[in-house]
Amino acid sequence: MRQIRLLLTFVYIILMIASCKQPLPQQAETVLQSTPDAKITATVYNSGFEHAHDTYNGISTASDGKVYYVLCSQLMDVAGQMYSFDPKSGNIEHLGDLTEICGEKDLKVVAQGKSHVNFVEMNGKLYFATHLGYYSIIDGMEKTGVPTGDYLAYRGGHLLAYDMKTKKFEDLGIGPNKEGIITMNMDPVRGIIYGLSWPTGIFFRYDVATRKMDDLGPVTGKGEDGMGEDFRVVCRSLAINPDDGTVYMTTAEGNIKYLRLGSNTVETIAGENMKKDYFGTYDIFTSGSMAYNWRQVFWYTPEKKVYGVHGNSGYLFRFDPSVPRIDVLERLTSIPSKLTGMGDQFSYGYLGFKPGPDGKTIYYLTGGPIYIDGQRVKGAESTAKGEAKGLEDLHLVTYDIPTGRYLDHGAVFYPDGQRPLYVNSIAIGDDGTVYTLARITENGKTRTDLISFPGPYKK
């Protein structure tokens, strides 16, 4: 009897182990392990904009199969430029000058230098917003640029729509307080745009159908316009629940704030926040980090939860508003970064975080330390701006949500061996190709431009 019981126990254990195994996602079957030492070769494009400077977000794929992107400018009198890239033909088309699109061509005002947001598609149109790229550096921090000569002050960021069929732009109006628009997302189910201004951090809402703009007030102290204890870094990403229209954001203190559909009052989640030991400890009154804000987030419909990355620590987390609860899932930094145990070089963390075409694989472009003769190349200990503190590699990391599979696919290089630098954007084509905007040096001149490389699950 004892032998029979032992045999039955053994069979039971085997059956339990088998029942706990989860099948690998179909696309991941060809990638069995991380390959952090692998080298990925990128294709470099030339859009023809010599003044192109660092771009944050500003790139998306659309239903017509094209990649749309904005190359930014940091000059007072040169605007950012919008383009499209057709992967089928390989053609790049210049679509417009942001200052001209906003009707400010002959006004001699500080240029619409940037688009700091991703495009959102609704009914054949791409919706996005503009931001200033010209700054004045005060106490080491970026502040609204003071114009020189006979130029006038920046007039404020615009909400814009681009019709992909007619190739015409529509100016929807200027955001609140004549500030730039640094954060934007849209509820395409209801046709409502939400955003945050810079530098003050004013939260606003715009109804496309009624063309009504609602200024809902500042949500984070005096934002990045403040000094000392009035300073708060502004959240860079909004998550929207498509089922009920609720919008979520964070503050430098780590509070998770939300706005219910139809309400004019921004509320704070009770019982949960972003202040986690794993994320690190921050002085919320000091610039140079995103503090306890999340860096980039998206709504994951199958689970009705928010997935995001905390910028400075690189931790992937999941937020369930219905509980409410945050689960810290995985450090999404590259394997070389994990091995050093040190933070990456970009002071704010990375914005290149987005679900792929299968809807369940997260793509993340992040940093990786560089070693020369066995010694790590170090950068500055701190900075008061959002910038790279030193040289780093660019790694592609993926994370499969259903299985929790993390993979570092290696570092990205140009054909001539150069590294893509200042990468804070990502778009993934339907075929798995990864697109981003990065610094490129050719013939002794450096610009930011479009690059692409095959993703790990490229068809």
Q: What pLDDT, in 10s, does the model give residues 133-166?
A: 999 988 888 899 999 999 999 999 999 999 999 9
Q: What's the alpha-carbon Rg for the chain, to the nearest Å?
A: 23
Residue 183 pLDDT more than 60? Answer: yes
| Res 387: pLDDT | 86
In a domain, 215, yes or no: no
161 falls within a domain = no
Of all residues in the chain, the percent with pLDDT exceeding 70 is 93
* Gap between the Cα atoms of 176 and 181, Å rounded: 9
Predicted local confidence at residue 5, as pLDDT = 46
Q: In the structure encoding, which two tokens stand for residue 158, read together? A: 């615009």
Q: What residue numbers bound the domain in which 442 lies? A: 27-47+306-459
Nearest partner of 178 among 200, 196, 198, 156, judged by Cα: 156
> Is 364 a member of any domain?
yes
What is the average pLDDT across 343-363? Answer: 95
Q: Widest CA span of the chain, in angstroms? A: 98
pLDDT at 411: 97
Residue 417 lies in a domain: yes
Residue 377: its pLDDT value, please? 84
d(CA 398, CA 408): 7
Residue 269 falls inside a structural domain: no
Residue 77 lies in a domain: no
Please give the Cα distance from 14 to 42 (Å, whole number). 46
The predicted pLDDT at position 34 comes to 86
Residue 442 has what pLDDT?
95
Q: What is the mean pLDDT of residues 37-57?
A: 97
String of b and e for 399-420 (b: at least 16 CB within 10 Å)? Answer: bbbeeebbbbbbbbbbeeeebb
At residue 13, the pLDDT reads 38
**pLDDT band at residue 27, thresholds of 50, 70 and 90?**
very low
**Cis before residue 302, ω within 30 degrees of 0?**
no
| 106 part of a folded domain | no
Q: How many domains does the chain have?
A: 1
Q: Give me the phi and psi of 228, to 5 degrees please.
A: 60, -130
The 3-state secondary structure of 381-423 reads CCCCCCCECCCCEEEEEEEECCCCEEEEEEEEECCCCCCCECC
CA–CA separation, 306 vs 296, rounded Å?
A: 10
Q: Is the pLDDT of residue 4 over 60?
A: no
Q: What is the SS3 assignment for 135-168? A: EEEECCEEEECCCCCCCECCCCCEEEEEECCCCE
User: Across the chain, what does the average pLDDT equal?
Assistant: 92
CA distance 224 to 230: 9
Residue 115, pLDDT > 60, answer: yes
Instruction: Report how far apart, in Å, the C-alpha atoms of 409 and of each of 240, 364, 365 are.
Output: 30, 10, 10
Average pLDDT over residues 203-211: 98
Token pair belonging to 226: 């403040």
CA dihedral 382→388→389→395, nearest 10 degrees, is 120
Is the predicted pLDDT of residue 55 greater than 50, yes or no? yes
What is the token pair recorded at 137? 């550096």
- CA 331 – CA 40 distance, rounded (Å): 22
In a domain, 53, yes or no: no
Q: Which H/E stretch holds residue 268?
A: strand 267-268
Nearest alpha-carbon partner for 91 in 70, 115, 66, 72: 66
* 20: three-class secondary structure by DSSP: helix
